[in-house]
Amino acid sequence: MTIVSNEELASFFHDLNFRLDTVAELNLHLANRFSVFRWLAPDELKLSSIIRELLDPSGVHGQGDAFLRIFLDMVGKMAGLGRLAIDRHAPRPKCEESTRNAANPLRRIDIFLRPTTGCAIGIENKPWAADQPGWVKDYSDHLAECGDSYVLIYLTTDGSDPSGDDDQKAAGDLGCRFLKISYKQHIKGWLEDCCQACRADKVRTFLRDFIDYVNAMEETGMRSEQDLALVMNYVRDQPGDKGFRIAYLMNDVWPEVVRRVASDFLAALEERLRTEFGDEWKITRDSDSNLLKADQPSFKASKRQWQRRFAFQLGWEIRGFTDAYFGIAKGEDSDPYIPNLKARMDEGMGAGKQNRWWEYYNYVDPLYRYPNTPETLLKLREKGEALNYYADLFGKMRQIAEPFIDDACSSS
Q: What pLDDT shows up at residue 388? A: 96
Chain centroid offset of residue 302 CA? 26
- Classify residue 391 by its DSSP letter: H
CA angle (5, 10, 15) in 5-degree steps: 130
* pLDDT of res. 219: 45
pLDDT for the residue 300: 94
Instruction: Tell me how far apart the alpha carbons of residues 269 and 253 are, in angstroms, rounded to a whole number.
Output: 24
Q: How far apart are CA 76 and CA 177, in angstroms?
A: 10
Q: What pLDDT is attached to residue 47?
A: 87
Of 128, 163, 122, 123, nearest in space to 44 by CA = 128
pLDDT in the model for residue 73: 93
Question: What is the rounded (10 degree) CA torsion for 240, 245, 248, 254?
Answer: -120
* Contact residues for 111 (Cβ-Cβ < 8 A; gap 6+): 48, 51, 52, 55, 93, 94, 95, 97, 122, 123, 125
- In this prediction, residue 238 carries a pLDDT of 65
Q: Residue 103's pLDDT is what?
A: 54
| Among 324, 332, 329, residue whose Cα is nearest residue 341 | 329
Q: What is the pLDDT of residue 13?
A: 56
Phi, psi torsion values for 320, nearest 5 degrees: 120, 10
- Could you give the angle at which helices 225-237 and 242-277 cross, rounded to 10 degrees? 140
Exposure b/e, 158-182, CB count within 10 A at least 16 = b: eeeebebeebeebbeebeebbbbbb
Query: What DSSP state is assigned to residue 290?
Result: G
- Using a cut of 0.75, tell me whether the model's pTM lies above it: no
H-helix or E-strand spanning residue 361: strand 358-363
Closest C-alpha among 252, 223, 219, 216 to residue 323: 219
| H or E element at residue 390 | helix 385-410
Dihedral angle of Cα 356, 179, 157, 38, to the nearest 10 degrees: -80
pLDDT beneath 50, residues of the chain: 1-2, 4, 9, 19, 23, 26-32, 34, 39-42, 102, 219-222
Residue 232 confidence (pLDDT) = 65
Collapse the DSSP code of 253 into the 3-class scheme (helix H, G, I; strand E, B; otherwise coil) and give the result.
helix
Q: At what angle do helices 242-277 and 385-410 cross, to 10 degrees?
A: 50
pLDDT digits (tens, 9 = 90+) for 319-360: 566 778 899 999 887 778 999 999 999 999 988 888 888 999
Q: State the Cα–Cα distance between residues 128 and 314, nearest whole angstrom.
A: 17
